Amino acid sequence: MNRTIPLILAVALFMENMDSTVIATSLPAIAADIGTSPIALKLALTAYLVSLAIFIPISAWMADRFGAKRVFRGAILVFMVGSVLCALSDSLLQFVGSRFLQGVGGSMMTPIARLVLVRATERSQLVSALAWLTIPGLIGPLAGPPVGGFITTYFSWHWIFLINVPIGFAGIVLSGIFLPHIPSEGANKLDVKGLFLSGIAASGIVFGLSVISLPALPPIVGILTLALGVTSAALYVRHAKRTQYPLLELKLLRRQVFRAAIVGGNVYRIGAGAIPFLLPLMLQLGFGMTPFQSGMITFASAGGALAMKFIAPQLLRWFGFRTVLASASVVSAFLIALNGFFTPETPYTVMIGILFCAGFLRSLFFTSTNALVFSDIDTKETGQATAMAAVAQQTSVAIGVAVGGGALEMFGLLTGQGISMIAFTYSFLTIAAITGLSVFWFLFLPSDAGNTISGHRLADRAEEAPAE
């Protein structure tokens, strides 16, 4: 396998994934500098997520219309411009607008990077290639808070965004040299109505959940926006059934393997997606750690993610997708539940060990489901599959944060103790149960699901075949 391609794509995605979380610890400093409040500035976080939700659905059409390599390089450029404008912003409106522009670039980077990798990689090497692409999505959010705190404390918040410029230029140059030309699969006529409905649906759901879980605006705004998003999603489903070339081809969900990868994968992400929100909050509010200290503890998950890179292909080859994904779902749920029983007296080595194992399993699960998405998909359908997977994943992340925040508030009220350790315990048990539910989508997969990608049993058959 040519590792240059996934490494170039991974660097670009690491920049995007870390940037989406690095801002969180720097909100007070940025707010003070541009003359607003940290709560109001959370609109910038929401603006980025909304931009992703609006433009991800059109990423497949853009790649087929203008070429995946060209669009990927253009997306990096747009992300860089947005980063510079963020650093130059001196008002809330400018900063929110700049973050929205960053989101436009980010919306194309992740799905098109995956599309380039799938089209440029042999099926038998896809798991190994996707493992490199999964790691930035896991390490970025974990590295973001401590890196953001360090830069803001010892330099200036502006460098959080300006550092993207040299990384972005390197990404544009290296992708121009090393990424292969990916032939276009031919773009159908743009589904304008589908773009309108899917954009409102995805952004409405993401914005609504973000406002409800991080109330920078009155909660009623989030509830109404969420209702608009759900209504638009229902209208899109109706529209897609009547359109010859819908923007997002929902008929792919009729295939059991693809449906399991998307639906089961996103149920898992809803549970696991609450961890980056709940765990640092517990370590800081419940244990009295500083943001930097809690960030160093949670960063143990990144070590597990890196270790997975070298083992995932062999595990899938030995046991197959069904066994690996079902086992990862159950064990991940158990490890998430253990988080709820951490106390200030729990030895750091125990916490780090559990988080390391959890990071390994999450990375294994994400790599496996990302590969399984394409196991039953023709080459001409990879664009649609990529866009659908990206939209579903982005929505599930927003749902995960909302579920985590909602569970914490609900159990705080039910116990009458507010945000206390017992509320954290019940919240972790709740999201562990949600994570574990994903197992039901994988238990009933055929035993040979995805074998052409994993190599499971194919090697055994080759060994058993009589020599000629």
pLDDT at 434: 93
Provide the token pair at 279: 């765990």
* Average pLDDT score over residue span 290-295: 72
Token pair recorded at residue 274 = 């609450």
- With 60 as the cut, is the pLDDT of residue 7 above it? yes
Q: Using one digit for the tens of pLDDT, what is the confidence trace for 175-199?
A: 888 887 776 666 678 889 999 998 8
Q: How far apart (Å, rounded) are the C-alpha atoms in residues 460 and 125?
A: 18
pLDDT of residue 330: 96
Which region among 68-82, 120-134, 407-421 has the lowest average model confidence (pLDDT)? Answer: 120-134
One-letter amino acid at 349 equals T
* pTM recorded for the entire structure: 0.80
Residue ranges of the alpha helices (H) in 243-311? 256-259, 265-272, 275-281, 291-298, 300-309
310 by Cβ neighbours in 10 Å (0-12 / 13-18 / 19+) ranks as exposed
- Contact between 266 and 389 under an 8 Å Cβ cutoff? The reply is no
| Burial of 226 (C-beta count, 10 Å sphere; 0-12/13-18/19+) | buried
Instruction: Let me know: does 149 contact 25? Beta carbons within 8 Å.
Output: yes
The two most distant CA atoms of the chain are separated, in Å, by 78
For 224-243, the DSSP string reads HHHHHHHHHHHHHHHHHHH-
**Average pLDDT score, the chain:** 83
- pLDDT number for residue 114: 81
pLDDT at site 176: 85
The amino acid present at 5, given as its one-letter code, is: I
C-alpha pair distances (Å), 62 with each of 195, 233, 270, 388, 454? 12, 22, 28, 14, 30
CA dihedral over 335, 336, 338, 339, signed as positive or negative:
positive
Q: What are the angstrom distances between the C-alpha of 234 and each of 55, 177, 197, 206, 227?
A: 19, 43, 9, 16, 11
The predicted structure's pLDDT at residue 268: 94
pLDDT in tens, 208-241: 887 776 666 788 888 899 999 999 999 999 998 8
Q: How large is the average pLDDT for residues 262-267?
A: 93
CA nearest 89: which of 98, 76, 81?
98
> Radius of gyration (Cα) for the chain, nearest Å?
21
**What is the pLDDT, as a whole number, of residue 463?**
46
What is d(CA 41, CA 6) in angstroms, rounded to the nearest whole number?
Answer: 34
pLDDT at 2: 57
Q: Which residue has the higher pLDDT, 132 or 52?
A: 52
